[in-house]
Amino acid sequence: MERSLADTHVATSVGLAHHFDDVEQQREAGTLGMWAFLVTEVMFFGGLFLAYILYRSKYPVEFAVASNSLNVTMGFINTLVLICSSLTMALGVYFSQVGNRSLLILFLILTMILGLTFLVIKGVEYHEKYVEHHVPVRFQTYQFKWEPRASEARGAREESSRAVDTGHVEMFFWLYFAMTGVHALHMIIGLGILTTLVLMARRGRFTPEYHSPVELSGLYWHFVDIVWIFLFPLLYLIGAHLH
């Protein structure tokens, strides 16, 4: 498609890549591309969810009892933290759409702070689990250990009369660490993306005509939030009724 000199000038200012015919096509392509990527993420986490569904249906007692040993309060707070971060991210996208640079940067930074908060709380949780010897590994210097708890006896009595199998309890914990660990990794990557966005925004890269990096990063961030929305009940709340 021939472009006049004037068109080229406009094209450069809105960041139109040479292989696209117009900004609309570029936007559409970017959005579809990000959604295609998120579909791959659904399938990636999906493998872990499959393992979870399988083993939970096989060992419901042990899963409830093990889940009961997690710090539900921290999980609950983290869920709220992430929901807040989704709000701040959505608002950041809004301000990029209307061209308000300072508010865009503010909300991106707020999102980052909330994301960091999430990771810090997660770190505290992991440390708790580490100290309790609930990390399911078998090394020379560190091994998984499960101490029967009061709730366990109740749980066992409720569902069956046999003792709880430590191996099955361990199964819950590897799922817990694998799923939250992969999730946390995605959060860290998200923080990196947000940092890049803040730097770009400070340089004035985003306008109402061109701000798709913010929008697409928003999609990624919301997706990571959705994964946690599912992880919270599935990992933390199974044994909540055993208190």
Partner 1 sequence: MQSVAEVVPPRTHYLNATYGVKSWLLTTDHKRIALLYLTSVTFFFFLGGLFAVLIRLELLTPQGDLVQAETYNRLFTMHGVVMVFFFLIPAIPAVLGNFLVPLMIGARDLAFPKINLLSWYIYNVGALFTVIAILSGGVDTGWTFYTPYSSTYSNGNVILTGIGVFITGFSSILTGLNFIVTIHTMRAPGLTWFRLPLFIWSHYATSLIMILGTPVIAVTILLLALERIAHIGIFDPAVGGDPVLFQHLFWFYSHPAVYIMVLPAMGVISELIANMSRKNIFGYKFVAFASLAIAVFGFLVWGHHLFVSTQSVYAGMVFSVLSYAVAIPSAVKVFNWTATLYRGSISYDTPMLYAFGFIGFFIIGGMTGLFLAALGVDVHVTDTYFVVAHFHYIMVGGTIMGYLGGLHYWWPKITGRLYPEAWARFGALVVFVGFNLTFFPQFLLGYMGMPRRYYAYPPEFQVLNVMSSAGASILGVGYLIPMIYLMWSMRYGPHAPPNPWGAFGLEWRTSSPPPTQNFEQTPVVTWEAYEFRPREEMDLLSVRDVLDQTLRPRPVGGEGD
Partner 2 sequence: MGEHIVSRKIYFAIFTALVVLTVVTWSVAKIDLGRMNAVVALTIAVIKGTLVVLYFMHVRYSSRLTWVFVGAGFFWLAIMVALTLGDYMTRGWLTIAQ
Q: Binding-site residue total for partner 1 (CB under 8 A)?
A: 41
CB 176 within 8 A of CB 235: yes
- Which amino acid would we find at residue 27? R
Rounded to a whole number of angstroms, the minimum distance from the CB of residue 22 to partner 1 is: 11
Would you give the binding string for partner 2 spanning residues 57-86, x where CB under 8 A is met? xx-------------x---x--xx--xx-x
Q: Does 36 bind partner 1 (CB under 8 A)?
A: yes
CA dist 62 and 37 (Å) reads 35
Secondary structure of residue 86 in the 3-state scheme: helix
- DSSP classification of residue 138: B
C-alpha span between 152 and 232 (Å, rounded):
21
Single out the residue of 184, 67, 177, 72 nearest to residue 118, CA to CA: 184
35 binds partner 2 (CB under 8 A): yes
**191: CB partners within 8 A, 6+ apart:** 112, 115, 116, 119
DSSP class of 155: H
| Residue 210 binds partner 1, judged by CB under 8 A | no
For partner 1, the binding residues (CB under 8 A) are: 1-2, 17-21, 25, 28-29, 32-33, 36-37, 39-41, 43-48, 50-51, 54-55, 58-59, 136-139, 165, 167-168, 170-171, 174, 178, 182
For partner 2, the binding residues (CB under 8 A) are: 24, 27-28, 31-32, 35-36, 38-39, 42-43, 46-47, 49-50, 53-54, 57-58, 72, 76, 79-80, 83-84, 86-87, 89-91, 94, 97-98, 215, 218-219, 222-223, 225-226, 229-230, 232-234, 237-238, 240-241, 243
